[in-house]
Amino acid sequence: MVIMTLFCHDAMKANFHHNQLIVIIFLIFTLNACSSDDIPAGKIPTEKSKPRVARAHLVEVAQTQIRPLRFNSTRIGTIRARKLFRVFSQEPGKIEQLPLYEGDAVKRDALLLKIDDTLLRAELNKASAKRKQAQLNLNRIKKLAKQQLSAEEELAQANTDMEVASAEERVLQTKIAHTLVRAPFDGVVSARLAEPGDYVASHAHILTLIDPASLVIELAVSELLLPHLNIGDKVDVRIDALGEESFDGAIVRIHPVLESNSRRGRIEIALLNVPAGARAGQLARTTIHTEEKPRLVIPQIALRRDRQGEYVFVVEGNSVSREAVNSGLRFGDWLEIHGLKVSQQVVTRGFLGLRKGKKVTVVAAKNDKEVTTQGAP
């Protein structure tokens, strides 16, 4: 009986709270309905519309300016020997002598390679005998011709036989000379690709000799930089393997053809005094110094690009125009430019929504930024 009484009491209490919640929700909807009597059905109340005022398009600008600049650029290249001699076998045969190994110093006219010439000398002896026989036959026919005892055709044939025999003898003498190879200059052996006793075919690469005093550094440079370089321009060279010391170099060759894919050309830089420890294949860091000359520059951020090419926005009065340009060398945050005049104002910030003829308001002019000479095209 007590249990039933408690259960009924809890149920009545829960029902009372539920009824209170329904009353509160009803009052909220009633108040909302009363406060929106003047609003048409289906519309959301909004603030009273205000007339829209056109906002000015704000831009920052910088002036084009001419400054005397020297371009300094660091490039990474590989050292190689400009003067080298690759020894190839001109005649097939067994290697009889190959006395030098990689790293061996070689004097001019030192023996580099000797191919076995036993068979060639046997053929030369045979050719010499034929030539002697042809000479005897020619002498005999000449005597008969003086006595008018031989026809002119016989004398002509004897002369021809003599010339053929002599030519065959000279060919074999040349082949024998090719079995012996001597050093054309003082140098160092950089590669040895065969061993004595090996049989080699014609035109097989056997040995490479380099001149260590002819080291050059090959660099790939942009087509934009090439017109500013000249033979003899000074270059600072630092070889990673030799530490932080810098060495003097100079441009000795500018290749005339560019790579079609990268639009880059190649130059060669010679070390004026080859340091001890410098070797072909080492990594070298070179700093190129171009001649100082006046250049028209703009901030690099002012340059825009699209499918039509490079362009900038130029402020004229209170509007902008689009001007096609061509960029050149880069000097830090500044860029050499072609197609503009001095003291024109170019937009550097505020490009979003900017287009030709748009009215703008200039909020800043940045003309005092320093131009650095470090950069890359």
Which residues have a Cβ under 8 Å from the Cβ of 152 and sit 6 or more positions away? 145
At 112, the pLDDT band (50, 70, 90 cuts) reads very high
> 214-252: per-residue pLDDT in tens?
999 999 988 888 888 889 888 999 999 999 999 999 999
Instruction: Tell me: do 270 and 314 sit in the same domain.
Output: no
What stretches of the chain show up as alpha helix (H) in DSSP? 2-35, 118-146, 152-178
Instruction: Tell me: do 188 and 218 sit in the same domain.
Output: no
In the predicted model, is pLDDT for residue 3 greater than 50?
Answer: no
Residue 45 lies in a domain: no
298 and 284 in contact (C-beta within 8 Å)? no
> 176-185: per-residue pLDDT in tens?
999 999 999 9
Instruction: Tell me: do 333 and 278 sit in the same domain.
Output: no
pLDDT of residue 16: 47
What is the DSSP code string of 101-121?
Answer: -TT-EE-TT-EEEEE--HHHH
Work out the angle at residue 164's Cα, subtended by the Cα atoms of residues 159 and 166, and round it to the nearest 5 degrees: 95
Under the phi-then-psi rule, with left for phi > 0, alpha for psi from -120 to 50, and beta for the rest, what region is 146? alpha
Identify any residues that bridge with 78 across adjacent strands, giving them in sequence order. Answer: 218, 283
Identify any residues that bridge with 76 across adjacent strands, giving them in sequence order. Answer: 285
> 322-333: per-residue pLDDT in tens?
999 999 888 878
Name the residue range of residue 152's domain. 86-209
> 28-73: per-residue pLDDT in tens?
555 454 444 444 544 455 555 556 655 779 999 999 999 888 777 7
> 193-213: per-residue pLDDT in tens?
999 999 999 999 999 999 998
Instruction: Tell me: do 192 and 90 sit in the same domain.
Output: yes
Entry pTM = 0.59
Give dist(CA 69, CA 374) in Å, integer: 10
How much is the average pLDDT of 98-125?
95
Instruction: Tell me: do 166 and 248 sit in the same domain.
Output: no
> 116-143: per-residue pLDDT in tens?
999 999 999 999 999 999 999 999 988 8
Give dist(CA 100, CA 106) in Å, integer: 8
pLDDT of residue 27: 52
How much is the average pLDDT of 303-320?
93
pLDDT of residue 28: 54
Residue 3 lies in a domain: no
pLDDT of residue 122: 95
In the predicted model, is pLDDT for residue 367 greater than 60?
Answer: no
Give dist(CA 96, CA 347) in Å, integer: 76
**In this structure, how many other beta carbons lie within 10 angstroms of the beta carbon of residue 56?**
11
How much is the average pLDDT of 356-366?
82
Question: Containing H/E element for 95?
Answer: strand 93-97
Phi first, then psi, for residue 73 (nearest 5°) are -140, 135
Residue 24 lies in a domain: no
Residue 13 lies in a domain: no
Return the structure tokens found at 88: 């190839």
Instruction: Tell me: do 104 and 144 sit in the same domain.
Output: yes
At 11, the pLDDT band (50, 70, 90 cuts) reads very low
Instruction: Tell me: do 137 and 279 sit in the same domain.
Output: no
- Collapse the DSSP code of 328 into the 3-class scheme (helix H, G, I; strand E, B; otherwise coil) and give the result: strand
Phi first, then psi, for residue 332 (nearest 5°) are 65, -120
How much is the average pLDDT of 6-16?
44
Give dist(CA 193, CA 204) in Å, integer: 9
CATH of the domain at 104: 2.40.50.100
Instruction: Tell me: do 124 and 234 sit in the same domain.
Output: no
Which residues have a Cβ under 8 Å from the Cβ of 83 and sit 6 or more positions away? 185, 187, 210, 211, 214
- Range of lowest pLDDT (43-52, 72-81, 145-154, 281-290): 43-52
Residue 221 lies in a domain: yes
Give dist(CA 88, CA 311) in Å, integer: 56
Residue 274 lies in a domain: yes
- Range of lowest pLDDT (20-24, 233-237, 336-340, 369-373): 369-373
In the predicted model, is pLDDT for residue 86 greater than 80?
Answer: yes
